[in-house]
Amino acid sequence: MKKILITAIGGDIAQSVALLIRKYFSNIDIIGCDFKNQKIEKKFIDKFILVPKASNTYYINKLNYFINKMSIDLVLPMNEDELNVISKNIELLNKKKNNNPQ
């Protein structure tokens, strides 16, 4: 089963994307992340993970940790700040690391 990580899952756009994926792709695990620790309904995601804000120096390392730990196949950034940070650091993503950053 493929796994997708949707960032900023607390927002309307991310939740709408998650619902569309659920509707059209039954064989996808949807993991949502956000910097706010909130309870997201199961209709949107299968699992929630807490990450720092995109402006935090540990954001990319934390994201990479979860990509590797959970064997994420695709990351969908749903926030402009996250999209900017990810695009500037794309070469750092999906590098194998065993430690959990701050």
For residue 47, the enclosing domain spans 2-92
For residue 15, being part of any structural domain is answered with: yes
For residue 21, being part of any structural domain is answered with: yes
CATH number reported for the structural domain that contains residue 80 in this entry: 3.40.50.20
The more confident residue out of 9 and 91 is 9
- pTM score of the predicted model: 0.89
Structure tokens at 35: 């910097």
pLDDT tens digit sequence for 14-66: 999 999 999 999 899 999 999 999 888 888 999 999 999 999 999 999 999 99
For residue 101, being part of any structural domain is answered with: no
For residue 62, being part of any structural domain is answered with: yes
Q: How many angstroms separate the CA atoms of 82 and 76, rounded?
A: 10
Q: How many angstroms separate the CA atoms of 80 and 98, rounded?
A: 28
Number of domains in the chain: 1
Number of Cα atoms under 13 Å in the Cβ half of residue 1: 11
Is the pLDDT at 85 greater than 90? The verdict is yes
pLDDT tens digit sequence for 65-78: 999 999 999 999 99
Start-to-end CA distance of the chain, whole Å, equals: 29
HEC per residue, 8-75: CCCCHHHHHHHHHHHHHCCCEEEEEEECCCCCCCCCCCCEEEECCCCCCCCHHHHHHHHHHHCCCCEE
For residue 16, being part of any structural domain is answered with: yes
